[in-house]
Amino acid sequence: MQPVLAPLAECPCARTVESVGEWWSILILRDALQGITRFDEFQRSLGIAPNMLARRLRHLTESGMFERRLYQQRPPRHEYVLTAKGRDFFPVVAALVTFGNRYLAPEGEALLLAERGTARPVVPVLVDVTTSRPVTAASVTAIAGPRASAGMHHRLATLATRAAASSPNE
C-alpha cells in the first residue's frame, strides 16, 4: 500500500483506496461477501500465496473490515467474519462487477448479480437516498464538507474553475 499524501488525507476516495485499494483485498472482500470466512477457503478460491493472504487478512482485520474469530481450539483456527464496515463495502464490489461486465467482457458476461430468491439478474445503479434519482458524474459535483480544511476548499475551488472553463457556454 502507498501512504496517503497529506493533501489527499481528507479525501474519502484516497482514504478508501489506502484502506482496501490493493487488488487482493478487494477480491478477499468480494469472496467474503459471498460467504467465505476461512483462510483455506480464501486461499483455494483466490489461488493466493499463504503469506500474502495472511498479510491482507491481518490488514483488513486491523482496518475494521473483518472480525477474527476462533472456530477450532486444536490446532487453533480462526475465521474472518465481515463487520458492518466490511458488509458496507458491497456496493463497491457491485459497481466493479457492473463496470467489468459493461466494458471489460467482450466475450460476454461470466458473472452476474442476481436476486437471491428468484435468480433474476440485476444491474445496480447508485441513487440518492432522498430523491431516488440516479447519481452520475453529470448530476453531482464535489463540495467541501463541514470539516474541510482550507486546502480542501482551495482544491475544490480550483477544480470548479477548471470545470466551468471546460464546459460549453449556454
Domain boundaries, the chain: 8-88, 94-119, 125-165
Looking at domain 8-88, which CATH architecture does it have? Orthogonal Bundle (1.10)
Total-model pTM: 0.84
Rounded-to-integer distance, Cα 121 and Cα 134, Å: 19
β-pair partners for 122: 113
Q: Which run of H or of E encompasses 14?
A: helix 12-20
Neighbours of 60 (CB within 10 A): 26
- pLDDT truncated to tens, each residue of the chain (170 aa)? 555 455 567 888 888 888 887 899 999 999 999 999 999 999 999 999 999 999 999 999 999 999 999 999 999 999 999 999 999 999 999 999 999 999 999 999 999 999 999 999 999 999 999 999 999 999 999 999 999 999 889 989 998 888 888 876 54
